[in-house]
Chains A and B, each alone.
Chain A
């Protein structure tokens, strides 16, 4: 299992149904996140996904992209400057 299960119950759906779900899900992930992240989301294990995100963030930081989440409530920084 690549991803954390969302239920403690055994799967009720047929293999064909599950396959159809995967197809719809993949199409949506490609539309919403792009090919590469769709692969990260659907084909990697949690551990691989976390490593990929770290690599992505470090790469972005090297190129000067800010990856920090902004402070809440629209302040410029945590001290409350605006």
Chain B
């Protein structure tokens, strides 16, 4: 399958799911390419409402690529089950086809979504706000996508785009021609510095980005620690056997029930998690304590974990 056929394959998957009433949308790299920002990854990230996981699993069981059935990826994938996706776990699938692997990562929630992703769709794709929020990771390469989506959102008349501009020059140039509404500035204090052309702006924007990176780093570290016993149990239980997708799914649910906490971040406490990440930046002397007061309240991006 070439890349064009691959895009069609994933869009067709969404089309078939929606015809069955499933709320789903493509996000991640493929959405970036769709919105006009080239990303080299050809794996598909799919947002799917957890209430429809049974339908999605049934479709994956029926869908073959070059006669190759779909399977969970290795031992690391948590089950496609609403209980774990509510806590921010994701599920990973692949078709190990002769011409190359076709991969699908499923998200029940948009990571760092400040409101439900399902309210922000454009055709087969998640809206740019959802895609940009999911790109606020601890990987350098993701950040230019966030800014690029922010610019396009403002251009389209979506003021939420102002929340996604992290490069000083880009932000100041945009402000030269366009007003940023007060309501948005209240959500993001660094925009006040931008409006006033304050020399602390670059530091505030960098601190903000560093906070997002720290939040992602700590989250991944925490999930990895909790995932390890599950992976070990999966390795023992599957013992190299090739199981059908439904049988593998049953096994994963069984093992997850015993070894994988459903919502480790909420168990730890979202407020505590955010506070610790902010504190890490200050105590590690990564940011100056004075600049910390320009950081936004990011708790709203994690409320879904406790709802």
Interface size on B, residues (CB 8 A): 55
Q: From residue 147 to 187 of chain B, which have CB atoms closer than 8 A to chain A? A: 147-148, 151-153, 155-158, 167, 169-170, 173-174, 177
Residues in B neighbouring A74, C-beta threshold 8 A: 220-221, 224
User: Would A71 and B36 be within 8 Å (CB), given that A12-B157, A24-B151, A80-B234 are in contact?
Assistant: no
Tell whether B40 is near chain A: CB-to-CB under 8 Å: yes
Cβ of B76 and Cβ of A4 under 8 Å apart?
no
Q: From residue 1 to 49 of chain A, which have CB atoms closer than 8 A to chain B? A: 2-9, 12-13, 17-18, 20-21, 24-25, 27-29, 31-33, 37, 40-42, 46-47, 49
Q: How far is the CB of B98 from chain A (nearest CB, A)?
A: 17
Cβ of B173 and Cβ of A6 under 8 Å apart?
no
Q: How far is the CB of A49 from chain B (nearest CB, A)?
A: 6
Q: How far is the CB of B74 from chain A (nearest CB, A)?
A: 3
Cβ of A78 and Cβ of B92 under 8 Å apart?
yes
Residues in B neighbouring A33, C-beta threshold 8 A: 37-38, 144
- Interface on chain A toward B: helix, strand, loop, or mixed SS? helix
Interface centre among A8, A50, A51 (most CB of B within 10 A): A50
Cβ of A73 and Cβ of B3 under 8 Å apart?
no
CB-nearest residue of chain B to A73: B224
Q: From residue 50 to 82 of chain A, which have CB atoms closer than 8 A to chain B? A: 50-54, 56-57, 60, 67, 69, 71-75, 77-80
Instruction: Identify which of B103, B151, B231 contacts A25 (C-beta below 8 A).
Output: B151
Tell whether B73 is near chain A: CB-to-CB under 8 Å: yes
Tell whether B64 is near chain A: CB-to-CB under 8 Å: no
Cβ of B3 and Cβ of A71 under 8 Å apart?
no
CB-nearest residue of chain A to B73: A78
CB-nearest residue of chain A to B226: A73
B 190-230 binary contact with A (CB < 8 Å = 1; else 0)? 00000000000000000000000000000011011001100
Cα separation A42 to B103 with both chains bound (whole Å):
27
Q: How far is the CB of B216 from chain A (nearest CB, A)?
A: 12
Q: From residue 97 to 141 of chain B, which have CB atoms closer than 8 A to chain A? A: 103, 105, 122-123, 125, 128
Instruction: Identify which of A32, A52, A71 contacts B148 (C-beta below 8 A).
Output: A32
Cα separation A77 to B76 with both chains bound (whole Å):
9
Instruction: Identify which of A5, A24, A47, A69 contacts B4 (C-beta below 8 A).
Output: A47
Cβ of B173 and Cβ of A46 under 8 Å apart?
no
Cβ of A72 and Cβ of B92 under 8 Å apart?
yes
Cα separation A5 to B34 with both chains bound (whole Å):
9
Tell whether B55 is near chain A: CB-to-CB under 8 Å: no
Cβ of B76 and Cβ of A57 under 8 Å apart?
no
Tell whether B43 is near chain A: CB-to-CB under 8 Å: yes
Cα separation A51 to B33 with both chains bound (whole Å):
11
Cβ of A80 and Cβ of B33 under 8 Å apart?
no
- A-B contacts, 5 listed (Cβ < 8 Å): A5-B156, A28-B151, A42-B36, A71-B76, A79-B74
| Interface residues in chain B, defined as those with a beta carbon under 8 Å from any beta carbon in chain A | 2-4, 7, 33-43, 73-77, 90, 92, 94, 103, 105, 122-123, 125, 128, 144, 147-148, 151-153, 155-158, 167, 169-170, 173-174, 177, 220-221, 223-224, 227-228, 231-232, 234-235
